[in-house]
Amino acid sequence: MNLRDLEVMPETTLQVSPRLVEDAVFDQVVLAGDSFVHTIDRGQFVRIVDLQGNQAVDTLFYNAHNYADRYSAQDTIRAQANVYLTTGTKLISTLRHVLLTIVADTCGRHDTLGGACSAESNMVRYDIAKRSMHACRQSFLKGALHWSATTGHELNKFDLTANVNFFMNVPVMPTGQLSFEDGVSDAGKYVELRAEMDTLMIISNCPQLNNPCNAYNPTPVRILIWDAPVS
Amino acid sequence: MNESILWQETLPGSSTWSHILKRGTALRLTAIDDAPNVGALLLNADNLSERLSLPDSLKAQHTARLTTGVALYSDMGRILCSITDDTVGWHDPLGGCSDEVLVTKKYGLDTYQQSRNAWHQNGLDGFLIELAKYGLGARDLMMNINFFSKVKILEDGSMHFVPGNAVGGGAVEIRAEMNTLVILNSCQHPMDPTNDYAQKRVGLTLKQVPVPGPEDVCRTFSPENTRGFIITERYFL
């Protein structure tokens, strides 16, 4: 799919998926504080389920055949002229390819401006003494380095860029003010994406203990994958 | 140490520029024409794996409006540059940069052969060419700033380019808190609705500036920035 085919996204709506859990070809729970790296083939569907509610799922996407071509937050929000991600959002890469499309969303909106927590940003945001607390970018690096070591495809800190925060609610006001609000998600809510290209997905299931938006309680999420329908 | 001007130059429209802005110096951008746009990428010149993180910057300062007092953080919790003065009031961290498809669709194709340096260029190619001069590439792209431009976000999340945000004479100044590779590109903002391909000039002034004191406007902007300055200063100890 090409960027030229894009239209301005429709108004935010909740969209349920027709796919049944029993038909999934992949089903795994990712605990809070863990990373998860997996390739989603073109045409496959991936669902992320917020099992207990208001969990932030920090996620990066790459063209599986060229990691330099990766998810771009700015290109994604500009293409739809809206800063929130929901059903209909096309996730655009730095080289302007459509990596995936959000095809179902029972949460309503997701953030892509707040980034992923890190040991270093926690020092700035909360307290210099917070450096040793677990953080998303520790998980991203662990997942990336492990993937690199096991597949031989180089993936490291240079590849960590602005991510999607599924289930996170980060409103931007007309004044420019940006805040972290309590989540709009709830137990069992999910988001589902269709891969438009072979896509590598890296998830950090956020371990943040300093932010009230997850009630200071990071929880597990579930990843389901379906094959492309046989036509 | 007082301020002293090191040199001045003009950045023409649709041009790319780069310089390693040394700690203790500042770059002042002054609109020469009305409604310019200057895309910017920032990297730690001493360790190019460390670069501007707009998500970390917005999150730490609870703002998507870049103006006086705002620090531009790296992904390592340090401040690469801080905005010490701004007569414009709003600079955009969200809109990103234009690309060849967008520019051709909006303004038509115009080759160098045809129009020499008035040809139609785009922000993405400008950034990639300049990054390549430092051994960097597409892997090293990051969310860019758009100085002089404003994209307003309404309650429903919709993004709206605000025309005429900056007029001639408007200026913004960034002070390097670390040795920072600054890459600028003066192509039009990708959401600018005007149909005319326009090359808007910006004046660049490089100067030496005093070390930020305890009452510095960026240091005292928020408790987060106070910690950010401490962390940055420790990097040089």
CA distances for B182 relative to B86, B174, B178, B191, angstroms? 18, 10, 11, 23
The pTM for the full model equals 0.96
| Distance from C-alpha of B15 to C-alpha of B17, rounded to nearest angstrom | 7
Strands of chain B (E only): list them.
4-11, 16-21, 25-31, 38-44, 71-73, 79-86, 145-147, 151-153, 159-161, 171-176, 180-185, 202-208
| Shortest CA gap B71–chain A (Å) | 11
B 1-40 residues with CB below 8 A of A?
none
User: Which of B153, B161, B189, B230 would best serve as a mutation to test chain A binding (most A beta carbons within 10 A)?
Assistant: B153
Query: What pLDDT score was predicted for residue A182?
Result: 77
Task: Read off the pLDDT of residues B60-90 as tens digits, 9 standing for 90 and up.
Answer: 999 999 999 999 999 999 999 999 999 999 9
- Give a three-class secondary structure readout of B90-132: CEECCCCCCCHHHHHHHHCCCCHHHHHHHCCCCHHHHHHHHHH
User: Which of B56, B97, B124 would best serve as a mutation to test chain A binding (most A beta carbons within 10 A)?
Assistant: B56
| Shortest CA gap B138–chain A (Å) | 6
In total, chain B counts a number of residues equal to 237
> Average per-residue pLDDT in chain B?
97
* ipTM confidence score: 0.97
Query: What pLDDT score was predicted for residue A72?
Result: 98
Cβ contacts (< 8 Å) between A173 and chain B: which residues? 153, 155
Q: What are φ and ψ of residue B131, in 5° steps?
A: -60, -40
Task: Tell me the angle at which helices B223-235 and B54-61 cross, rounded to the nearest 10 degrees.
Answer: 140
Nearest beta carbon to residue B159 from set A11, A82, A177: A82
User: A202 Cβ partners below 8 Å, 6+ apart?
Assistant: A35, A36, A37, A59, A60, A61, A62, A140, A143, A144, A147
| Shortest CA gap A136–chain B (Å) | 12
Task: Read off the pLDDT of residues B100-153 as tens digits, 9 standing for 90 and up.
Answer: 999 999 999 999 999 999 999 999 999 999 999 999 999 999 999 999 999 999
| Distance from C-alpha of A110 to C-alpha of B203, rounded to nearest angstrom | 39
User: B201 Cβ partners below 8 Å, 6+ apart?
Assistant: B10, B11, B12, B13, B32, B33, B36, B186
B 41-60 residues with CB below 8 A of A?
49, 53-56, 58-60
B94–A174 C-beta distance less than 8 A: no
Q: What is the DSSP letter of B187?
A: P
| Distance from C-alpha of A2 to C-alpha of A98, rounded to nearest angstrom | 7
Percent of chain B with pLDDT over 90: 98
Count CB pairs under 8 A between chains A and B.
140
Angle at CA of residue A204, ends A202 and A209, nearest 5° = 170
User: Which of A6, A58, A118, A124 would best serve as a mutation to test chain B binding (most B beta carbons within 10 A)?
Assistant: A124
Task: Read off the pLDDT of residues A100-146 as tens digits, 9 standing for 90 and up.
Answer: 999 999 999 999 999 999 999 999 999 999 999 999 999 999 999 99
CB distance A197 to A101 below 8 Å: no
10 Å CB burial of residue A66 (0-12, 13-18, 19+) is middle
B58–A67 C-beta distance less than 8 A: no
| Shortest CA gap A204–chain B (Å) | 16
Cβ contacts (< 8 Å) between B152 and chain A: which residues? 174
pLDDT at residue B1 tops 80: no
Residues of chain A with pLDDT under 50: 1-11
Task: Read off the pLDDT of residues B147-197 as tens digits, 9 standing for 90 and up.
Answer: 999 999 999 999 999 999 999 999 999 999 999 999 999 999 999 999 999
B76 at interface of A, judged by CB pairs closer than 8 A: yes
CB distance B145 to B94 below 8 Å: no
B139–A68 C-beta distance less than 8 A: yes
